[in-house]
Amino acid sequence: MKAPAKTRTARFVMSIAMATALAASGLTACASTTRCLPAELTASPARIAAGDTLTLASGPAECDLGFESEPIYTVVLYSSTAQQSEPLEVAPGEDGTFSSEISIPESFSPGIATVVVTGSPYDECGNESGSCAQYSVDVTITG
């Protein structure tokens, strides 16, 4: 047997009121599926000559990265002509901050090069959270 229209309307109004109160309190009925990812990488200078030193850095994450142990990131510079630097290991802080100097190999050809960091939470962006952009930054190698 169906409830009277007045009762159905009252239930609907009550559910809207509860949802509004929940939202106003800052709580949600569902858990957030947003992944905590490190802060954006920066490279300085953005234009650099082969043989010079580049500073790669990342600021603190805006959330808990959830490191279960002390992470080690691996940094590699890839040129547009398929050259690559030797891997460099970097230990970020608990909040994801790090700064490291990278020597640009003298053999690198001029053009766009990409500094890629692996071992970060970007590597763990599987099916559960959708795709993630690679943890990287581009620089220009000058001639």
Mean pLDDT of 70-89: 94
Q: What is the pLDDT of residue 66?
A: 86
The predicted-structure confidence for 8-58, as pLDDT tens digits, reads as follows 444 433 433 343 343 343 333 333 456 788 999 999 999 999 999 999 999
- The mean of the pLDDT values for the chain is 79
* Residues above pLDDT 70, as percent of the chain: 70
Give the chain's length: 143
pLDDT confidence bin for 143, thresholds 50/70/90: confident
pLDDT for 72 beyond 80: yes
pLDDT for residue 9: 41
Residue 129: CB atoms within 10 A of its CB come to: 13
At 114-127, the pLDDT tens digits run 999 999 888 876 65
Nearest-angstrom CA–CA distance, 16 and 134: 41
| H-state helical runs in 1-143 | 5-24
Decide which of 101 and 129 is more confident.
101
59-to-20, 22, 37, 50, 94 alpha-carbon distances in Å:
36, 33, 11, 26, 11
